Structures are given as structure tokens and as C-alpha cells.
A and B are shown apart, each in its own frame.
Chain A
Amino acid sequence: MGHRDRRLGRRMVLPLILLLLAVQGYPMAFAVYISAHDYRLTALSEIRWVGLEQYRGLLGNSSYWTAMKNTLVFVFGAVGLELLLGFLLAYLLWRPVPAQNLFRAILLTPMFVTPIAVGLMFRFLLNNQLGIIPVWLRSLGLEIDWFGPDLALFSLILIDVWQWTPLMVLLLLAGLEALPVEPFEAARVDGASELQIIRHLTIPLIRPVMLAAILIRMLDAFRVFEYVYAITRGGPGERTETILFHIYRVGFLYFRLGEAAAMAITLALVIFVLVVLLFRILRRQEALT
């Protein structure tokens, strides 16, 4: 690559770097600054330096840990189910089936709907008295307390599954379609059963795509806010208090910005680790193609 290309390249990247410094770098530094202060929106004249005190406070803050735990349960539960269901649907869509393109188009729609609308729709669909789903279940003799203490978080997971399995389908289907044909022909000739082929051939071959899909979904699932906001507000008790909702509560209901910023930074660190993983998988994938 020529010297002039390099210079042009740098100039082409520069605007993006400047933009990101402005909209990400500066706010991030500002967030770190806020997290080291006692920073209350109701008392902006009394901001004082507290060092790492906010972070130390988080260690003994049981609501924070509950929110973190709930978020992790949500992320793993949702992504796990989405992977299973997504693989099933992608697999069914992989080979010709009547109305294949129509199915494809329909199954992908939920991921394009604004999550607040999804949350509000399910709030009413699952409502015990007014929703139609409990009415149907009742006619089957089933009585399910969707938003009671035992199931509330799981119900939110199901809503996430409804909305985001499509993304899983999309990515896995692309992975499946890029697979070479020969190994499958060979396996069939050898008389391998469908399940054997899936287990020993399909899954190992699309593992990199699978991992990438899992990480993309996980990173997104950490941001769950709208379903909680629309349906449970963190209840019952603190059963569905997720970390983003908790940060919202502390920052914008109690106006303790310093504490909220400290929580946000710890969350960013967790996410950063996941991004490192995702990036390595994508790089390896790139080397393969």
C-alpha cells in the first residue's frame, strides 16, 4: 500500500474518529468524572469529590447485585432459548418447504418492532382478566400467573424470545446456507441419520456463526429496559429489576447521578469483556472465509 493511500485512508477515517470522540469519548470520560463525585441533580452546586466511594458503595448495595443477577439470568435464559428455537426454525427453513420466502419474511418481523410496543402488547395479551391468552389457557384448564413472583422474569424472557429469536434465525440460516454440500452428501451416503448429521456435522460446522450470533444477542439483551418499564416496573419485589432499569431509577427518580454513573461503568466493563470475545470469534471467522 502506497504512502499516499495511507494518508488518504487516515483522512477518510478522521471524521468518524472525531465524531466518536465527541459523542462517545467525551461522555464516557464525563461519566467517569461523575462517578467519582457526589453528583446530585437536585444539588448541582454541592458537587464534591468522593474518589472510589461510589464503587465501594456498590459492593454492599444489595439492590445493585439483585439487578445484576436478574440481568444475567435474563440474558442467559433469553439467549439460550432463542438459540434453541432459532436453530430449530433456521433448520426447518434451510431446505425447500412450500411458501419458504413468505415464512422467512413473516418470521423475521418481530425484531423490527419497537420494544416498548412489544412490551405493552404483551402486558395486555397476558393479563389474567383482560388478555386473550390466559382465557385460552383457562379453557384448557391451565391457570398461569405470568407476572407473579415465580414467573415474572421468565415471562419477560419469553417476550424477549418472541422479539429476538428472528435475529437468531436470520444469522443461523445464513450460516447454514453458506455450508458446503459435499460433507452432507457423504454422510447421507454413509447412512447417517438426520440427528446424527445435525450433531456431528451441522453444529460443528456453523459453530463460529453460532457463537457470533449468541454474543450479538447477549450484548443486546443486557440493555433490556422497555419490557420492564412497560410491564413490571421491577416487581414483584425486586424480581425483575434489571440493571438498566435500576440505573434509570437511581439516576432519574432519585437523581443520584454519581451512583448511577458508577453502576453504568461497571456494566460497561462486563459488556466490554463480551465484545472482546465476539471480536475474536469474528476475526477467526474472517480468516476462514
Chain B
Amino acid sequence: MTGLARGIAVKATPARGILRWGRRWPVLFRFSTLSIAAVAVLFPFLWIFLSSLKPPVELSRPSLFGFEPTGVNWSEVWLNSPFARYFLNSVIVGGLTVIVSLIVGAPAAYAFSRFGIGGTGLRFLILAAQMMPPALFIIPFFLMAYYVGLLDTVWAVAVAHLTFIAPLVTWFLIGFFEDVPRDLEEQAMVDGCTRWQAFVRVVLPAARPGLAAAGLFAFIMSWNEMFYALMLAGGHSKTLPVAIAGYWTFRGVDMGKMSVAITSAVIPVMIASFFVQRYLVRGLGGGALKG
């Protein structure tokens, strides 16, 4: 389009000219508002990271920069305390919970999306199940874990996390299976697969991104959970959130080490979150919301 033609077009539809002008100031406005929000989000992370590098004296003063950075907090936490073990505990709890949830949840979600099994009632129960308050389960779980002798083990925490992770994963996957075209499995069945084989060999691979996103999100939820972990495990079996809270002791808060623990717990989750973000909406809506 030549400049002349563009000029004519603008003249022909004046509304569009206003719109174009009107669009220009919001860009600056939008950019600056978003920048402020981004700073508000990033600032606490920056502060906690800087705190992890501060010597004890500086932690009593409200300064941000202007200190001699030291790695002593990091080496104390990672090399001279069982922090690596708590990290591993969190991985075990999250991994175990997610694997069981995927194995149990994927077929169920498929059945919901394809056969409408159990109707809306069952779907509702799945949603309700992930929303139930932990206060309802913690007392029975505590007593059961105690009767069974699993108190203060990662297994007790993993089982408790299944209460909300398993329905969450199932709920998430419904939407992703609905996105898998039905032709795929029908073609497979024409080729001689049974329905189950079609599910395992065709549908599951096709829904792989969804499965990964659901698993990763569920893992993050388990990783971050503190209530069950504090009540059911606390010693050798403590998970990261409990370990973080543990730096707040009877003899004072070890701010430097706590900052290391927080930073260490947050970084992997941050990285994982970038992969999860774009699948989250579809998942949270149980297929009802567009991602």
C-alpha cells in the first residue's frame, strides 16, 4: 500500500485513525504498569537471594546492597547439613505421588472424556475431592500413620498428598484427552487394535504434552505443600517447606541459611513453571476452559 492510499484509507474511516492514536498511548502506559508489576514480583526474590549471600551482621540491617557477599551460608546448608536429603525427600514424595496419580488418573480421565463414565456426578466428585480442606483429613491420617507405624516417613506424606494430587491430575487430563482427535484411535482400531491398545499406543503418546504438564504441575503442588508434611513428617523425612520453616528455631531465625533454603527450593520450581504455564488453564478448567 502506498502512502497515498494509506492516507485515503485513514480519511475514509476516521474511527480507525482515532483508534490508532488511542492505541499508542496505552502501549507506554501498559508497558510501564506491567514493569511496575514485574518489579513488585521480582523484588522479594532478589531480596531473598541477596540475603543468602549476606554475612550475619548485615542480616540485622535493612540494607539491600553494599555488603561483602559470602558463600558461607550456601556451603553450610548444602555441605554441612542434611539439606540435600530433604531435597531428595521432596523429590521422592513428589515423584511417587505424581507417578501413582498418572497411572491411576490417566485411564480414568480417558474414560471420562470418551465414555462419559459415571456421568456428571463422578466428574463432580473428582473436582470436589481436590478441593477438600486438608484439615478434614489430617487427623485421620495422623492416627492411621501412627497405627501403621509410618509416622515420620516420606511414605505417609506421599499418601496424604495423593488425596489432592490424584484428583487434580485426573481433572487436568480430561481436557487434554478431549483435545486428542478421535480419528486417531478410530484409525488404530480399524488397524486391528483393541480400544485399550489404542489408548495405550496412540492416545497416550498423542497427549504427551498434557501428561507432562499435569505431572509437572502436580509435582510442584506436592513440592510446595507444608501442612501435611509438617504434621506427618518432621525429622529425617522432612520435605523442603518443613526444612525452610525449620530455620526459624527456638534460638532465633537463621536468616542466611533460610534464604539459601528458599532460593534452592524455588529455582527448580521456577524452571518447571515455564513449561507448565501454557497448559495450566486447560487443565484447571477440567476441559471446560480454553487454554
Contacts and interface: CB of A to CB of B under 8 A. Distances in A.
Asked whether the complex places CB atoms of A and B closer than 8 A, the reply is: yes
Interface in B229-272: 231, 240-241, 244-245, 248, 255, 258, 262, 265-266, 269-270, 272
A175 interface: yes
A282 B136 contact: no
Q: Is the interface of B mostly helix, strand, loop or mixed?
A: helix
Interface stretch (A55-63, A128-136, A141-149): A128-136
B128 A272 contact: yes
Interface residues of B, number: 106
Contacts of A132: 47, 62-64
B288 A174 contact: no
Contacts of B40: 162
A26 B170 contact: no
A16 B170 contact: yes
Contact of B167 (A15, A20, A95, A175): A20
Contacts of A174: 281, 289-291
Contacts of B225: 114
B140 A109 contact: no
A81 interface: no
A254 interface: no
B136 A34 contact: no
Q: Is the interface of A mostly helix, strand, loop or mixed?
A: helix
B273 A12 contact: no
A267 to B, nearest CB: 5
A92 B34 contact: yes
B162 A268 contact: no
Contacts of B55: none
B195 A23 contact: no
A153 to B, nearest CB: 19
Contact of A6 (B19, B115, B125): B115
Interface string B137-179: 1111101100000000000000110110011001000000000
Nearest to A173: B281
Contacts of A272: 128
Contact of B137 (A1, A27, A122): A27
Contacts of A282: 127, 285-286, 288-289
Contacts of B262: 117, 120-121
Interface stretch (B68-76, B81-89, B100-108): B100-108
Given A13-B111, A27-B141, A285-B289, 20 more contacts: A6-B115, A12-B107, A19-B162, A28-B136, A34-B143, A103-B34, A103-B38, A109-B45, A112-B270, A114-B224, A117-B48, A122-B44, A132-B47, A177-B290, A194-B22, A194-B26, A257-B139, A274-B131, A283-B288, A285-B285
